[in-house]
Amino acid sequence: MMDRVPILKIGAVLLVSIQIDLEDQTVLALQEDLADRITRTGARGVIIDITAVDVVDSFIGRMFATIAAMSRLMDAETVVVGMRPAVAITLVELGLSLGGVRTALDLEKGMRLLGVAVPGADGR
């Protein structure tokens, strides 16, 4: 049985928190699940939290770009949050600029980028 990445709905935003090792099949299932959820919920934004991701390869890097392009076609914007320095360095070394993918340091900043009010945020 393949692990699936959970997709949570927070208002008009879908939160994808990647807490497992990303196998190719898991990534492909995530793309399908996310497209389905965007369609069913009418979400305007997608946040992919990769705080727990230590290692990326070119397949996973392209997956972020693919999800962002797919979401954009479905009228939802994607923000990747929680990228570790080592992951950023690897993506640059692989020549993956993740065109069209906005990034933020943490979930709160990612929500703000999408114009979502953050409960309890003090508005700094």
Q: Which domain holds residue 16?
A: 7-113
User: Taking the complete model, does pTM exceed 0.75, yes or no?
Assistant: yes
Domain assignment of residue 1, yes or no: no
Domain assignment of residue 68, yes or no: yes
Domain assignment of residue 46, yes or no: yes
pLDDT of the residue at 57 = 84
Number of structural domains in the chain: 1
> Which residues does the chain have with pLDDT short of 50?
124
pLDDT of the residue at 60 = 82
From residue 33, alpha-carbon distances to 9, 40, 46, 122 in Å are 13, 10, 12, 33
Domain assignment of residue 122, yes or no: no
Burial class of residue 42 in the structure, from the number of CB atoms within 10 Å of its CB (0-12 exposed, 13-18 middle, 19+ buried): exposed
Domain assignment of residue 66, yes or no: yes
Domain assignment of residue 120, yes or no: no
Q: Which helix (H) or strand (E) covers residue 58, if one does?
A: helix 58-73
